[in-house]
Amino acid sequence: MTAAAEAGAGGAAAGERAAGQAAGGRTAVRTVARRLLPLLFVLYVVNFLDRANIGVAALAMNAELHLSPTAYGTAAGIFFIGYLVFQVPAAWALNRFGARRWLAGVITAWGLCSAATAFVADARGLFLARFLLGLAEAGFFPGVVAYLTTWFPARRRTRALAAFLLAIPVATAIGLPTSGLLVEHAGLFGLSGWRSMFLIEGAPAVVLGIAALRLLPDAPDRAAWLSIAQRRELAAEVASDTPPDRTGGAVLGRVAHFALVQAGMAFAAYALQFFLPQVLTGLFPGVRPAGVAALAALPYVVAVPAMLLWSRHGDRAGHRASLITVPLAGSALAAAGAALSHLPVLTLTALTVMVAANLAAVPALWSRCTGALAGRHAATAIAGVNALANVASFAGPSVTGRLADATGGYQAVYAVMACVTATSWAAARRLPGPPAAPAVPAPAALPDGTAG
Q: Is 250 exposed, middle or buried (0-12, 13-18, 19+ CB in 10 A)?
A: middle
The pLDDT value given to residue 435: 54
Neighbours of 429 (CB within 10 A): 12
315-324 contact pairs (CB < 8 A, 24+): 315/155, 315/156, 315/158, 315/159, 318/155, 319/367, 319/368, 319/371, 319/433, 319/434, 321/428, 321/429, 321/430, 321/431, 323/361, 323/364, 323/368, 324/261, 324/361, 324/364, 324/365, 324/368, 324/428, 324/431
| 128 SS3 class | helix
Q: Is 345 exposed, middle or buried (0-12, 13-18, 19+ CB in 10 A)?
A: exposed
Residue 445: strand pairing partners: 451
The pLDDT value given to residue 267: 94
d(CA 128, CA 429): 39
d(CA 297, CA 358): 15
Regions of the chain with pLDDT less than 70? 1-25, 241-249, 314-319, 374-377, 433-452
Instruction: Kindly state the DSSP code that residue 374 receives in the 8-state scheme.
Output: -
Give this prediction's pTM. Answer: 0.76
The pLDDT value given to residue 12: 43
CATH number of 20-428: 1.20.1250.20
